[in-house]
Amino acid sequence: MQEPLSPILTVKAISKSFPGVRALSAVDFQLNRGEIHSLMGENGAGKSTLIKVLTGVYQKDAGECFLDGKRIAPVTPKEAQDLGISTVYQEVNLIPSLTVAENIYVGRHPTKQGRIPWSVIKEGARAALARLDIHIDVTEQLGSFSIALQQMVAIARALDTSSQVLILDEPTSSLDPSEVEMLFRVMRKLRDEGMGIVFVSHFLDQVYAICDRITVLRNGQLVGAYNTAELPRMELVAKMMGKQLAALDTQKSQPSPEARTGASARPLVRAAGLGKKGSIEPLDLNIQAGEILGLAGLLGSGRTEVAKLLFGIDKKDQGEIIVDNVPVAIHSPRDALFQGFAFCPEDRKSSGIVEDLSVRENICLALQAKRGWTRPLSRKRQDELADYYIKALNIKVADAEQKIGTLSGGNQQKVIIARWLAAEPRFLILDEPTRGIDVGAKAEITKLIQSLADKGMAILLISAEWHELIRSCTRLVVMRDRKKIKELKGQQVNESEIMHAIAEGG
Ligand SMILES: Nc1ncnc2c1ncn2[C@@H]1O[C@H](COP(=O)(O)OP(=O)(O)O)[C@@H](O)[C@H]1O
Ligand SMILES: [Mg+2]
């Protein structure tokens, strides 16, 4: 017999907006005593915002929260903590140079006649950790312990004797499997003591290993709440993506485009065991000259991180990048540029366009960086390049001296692509090249990408829009949980295969 569910935390119709974004729209959520409850959704779905509203970091615009039947509206994290809601964020916010005991009590140590009673603190820290079955020397510096143990210390610090709810936002991102197991042991113990635990994780396997129930968010809206045992993985993935499974199953697999003639079958760029601990598990990739290789996966699955490793923005800690059969050293974007790589990032506003510069200056930026700033391009050459690409890509501008900030999104995107083309890359990485632009510009950019491949460029295409990938690519790599899980080619390049790969792990 199952015990009746007893709600500890109830959220009713919570809304929260930021300028230009509705992060939460009338979301309901219920956490029961003695359960581990996963909050799932792609990046940007609203998980962290919901947690931050619950814990007094953000103030909600509308809605109500109840803890143990009483209405609460914490306005600071401290107040939420005092009410019995303890939170541990992804980043361990502790101080490595202090001892474990000091970290557990920092900022709130008891005083006895103005003095800090160290023996009391040590004993309290020991007891707090013992509750988690962790037995370590609390007089050692925190920094001398593994990240996993540091996280246990963070949990011990967060948990008061009065805590009824524990919230963990992506606590496992930087843990190895045995460390995850240690965390799970602690979570199960606290659950069995009756605590309600909210667990946010990117990792599907972890969610299925530990959670009793799952609430799915999408674009700031509640999709639904489900018992884990009754929610097949395919269904979960479909719900996170806002797709109908039934529609997918009847969908005919689309014939993939013919392998283009003229494209050589020589791998131009290869990654062998390329990885970075805590970011991307080691993976192999090979991209041929004249080929568009697609990278598919949910938002947050590690696609952009792969691009950043290849382009030297993030530093790999294992594996090799091989160009034309020769291992190359790429430690920075500048090294990558010298190898003939180009990377058109997703976040145009922060890492792409320089709003105050003209279209001409924006187009010449990457080539100038490749030449080195001591060898400036002549003004004449700059004018020629700008005119050439404005025509070639059909960029709508009055003239090349117009500030890029005044252009439409689609035209800005074309300028950024022009910038990387002007650097004459052999290998072009495009991260969401058509996001946020209108349909017409999308079609033009898709055509442009195709024509670049036809000319022999190797292209890595990242897109959340699977139909775009399916249309443009003959081969797809599927990512999940920061791992390459499958490679699809030919007839396998269709939505249903991508979904299966994501749900089942390849
Ligand atoms: N402080 C903030 N200012 C502006 N926008 C924000 C802020 N925090 C979150 N957002 C936006 O709200 C949406 C939901 O984000 P978030 O709750 O972090 O999603 P998740 O944790 O599910 O990845 C996103 O569009 C995000 O960009
Ligand atoms: Mg988040």
Taking phi first (over 0 means left), then psi (-120 to 50 degrees means alpha), and beta for anything else, what does residue 465 get? beta
How far away, in angstroms, is 44 Cα from ligand 1 center? 5
The rounded Å distance from CA 278 to ligand 2 centre is 16
253 pLDDT more than 50 = no
Is pLDDT of 36 > 90? Answer: yes
Q: For tokens 């950024």, name the residue.
A: 416
Atom of ligand 1 nearest to the CA of 41: 22
Which ligand 1 atom is nearest residue 45's CA? 22
Q: What 8-state DSSP symbol labels residue 254? A: P
Q: How far apart are CA 480 and CA 67, in angstroms?
A: 35
CB 11 within 8 A of CB 65: yes
Separation between Cα atoms, residue 458 and residue 423, nearest integer Å: 14
Cα 419 to Cα 354: distance, rounded to the nearest angstrom: 12
**18: CA distance to ligand 1 center in Å?**
8
Residue with more model confidence, 188 or 251: 188
The whole-angstrom separation of Cα 422 and Cα 317 is 31
Q: Over range 5-22, report the average pLDDT.
A: 94
Flag whether pLDDT at 254 surpasses 50. no
Atom of ligand 1 nearest to the CA of 217: 22
Q: In this predicted model, what pLDDT tens digit does every residue of 442-479 receive, in sequence order?
A: 787 888 889 889 989 999 999 988 888 999 998 999 99
3-class SS of residue 128 = helix
Dist CA 181 CA 209 (whole Å) = 10
Using one digit for the tens of pLDDT, what is the confidence trace for 102-132?
998 877 766 666 777 788 889 999 999 998 8
Starting from the edge strand earliest in sequence, which strands make up the sheet with 318-323, in order?
280-288, 267-276, 318-323, 326-328
**What b/e sequence results for 346-368 when a residue is b if at least 16 CB atoms lie within 10 Å of its CB, and e otherwise?**
bebeeebbeeebbbbbbbbbbbb
Phi then psi for residue 142, to 5 deg, are -55, -40
481: helix, strand or coil: coil
Mutate to test the pocket of ligand 1, among 14, 21, 173, 218 (most ligand atoms within 8 A of CB): 21
**pLDDT of the residue at 167:** 95
Name, in order, each residue with C-beta under 8 angstroms of 193's C-beta and a sequence gap of 6 or more.
Answer: none
Dihedral sign computed on CA atoms, order 133, 135, 141, 144: negative
Distance, CA of 50 to CA of 31 (rounded, Å): 13
Note the pLDDT of residue 443: 81
CA dihedral angle for residue 360, residue 410, residue 18, residue 482, rounded to 10 degrees = -100
pLDDT in tens, 292-301: 999 999 888 9
- Give residue 486 CA to ligand 1 midpoint distance, Å: 30
Of the bound ligands, which one is closest to the alpha carbon of residue 50?
1
Q: Is 133 left (phi over 0), alpha (psi -120 to 50) or beta?
A: left
Each residue's pLDDT tens digit, 319-373: 999 999 999 999 999 899 889 999 988 866 555 667 788 999 999 988 898 888 8
Residue 352 token pair: 């792409």
Partners of residue 427 on adjacent β-strands: 341, 458
Measured by CA distance, the residue closest to atom 3 of ligand 1 is 18
Ligand nearest to the CA of 52: 1
Residue owning the nearest CA to atom 1 of ligand 1: 18
Task: For residue 220, give the ligand 1 atom closest to its CA.
Answer: 14
Using pLDDT thresholds of 50, 70 and 90, give the confidence band for residue 246: low
Q: What is the pLDDT of residue 1?
A: 46
Ligand with minimal distance to 15 CA: 1
Confidence (pLDDT) at 239: 92
Ligand 1: list residues with CB < 6 Å.
18, 21, 23, 41, 43-49
Inter-residue contact 287 to 183 (CB < 8 Å): no
What residues are paired with 214 via a beta bridge?
A: 38, 226
pLDDT of residue 110: 66
What domains can you pick out in the chain, each with its CATH number? 7-247 (3.40.50.300), 266-340+425-506 (3.40.50.300), 351-424 (no CATH)
With b for 16 or more beta-carbon neighbours within 10 A and e for fewer, the 288-321 pattern comes to: bbbbbbbbbbbbbbbbbbbbbbbbbbbebeebeb
In degrees and rounded to multiples of 5, residue 434 shows phi and psi of: -110, 10
* ∠ Cα 131 134 139 (to 5°): 105
What is this structure's pTM?
0.74
Q: How far is the CA of 118 from the CAs of 123, 126, 145, 149, 281, in angstroms? A: 9, 12, 21, 22, 43
Q: How many angstroms is it from 460 CA to the middle of ligand 1?
A: 27
What is the average pLDDT value for the chain, to the nearest integer?
A: 88
Give me ligand 1 centre to Cα 50, in Å. Answer: 10
Choice between 153 and 94, residue whose per-residue pLDDT is larger? 153
**How far is C-alpha 178 from the chain's CA centre?**
23
pLDDT value, residue 394: 82
CA angle 215/300/489 to nearest 5° reads 110
Distance of CA 16 from the midpoint of ligand 1 (Å): 10
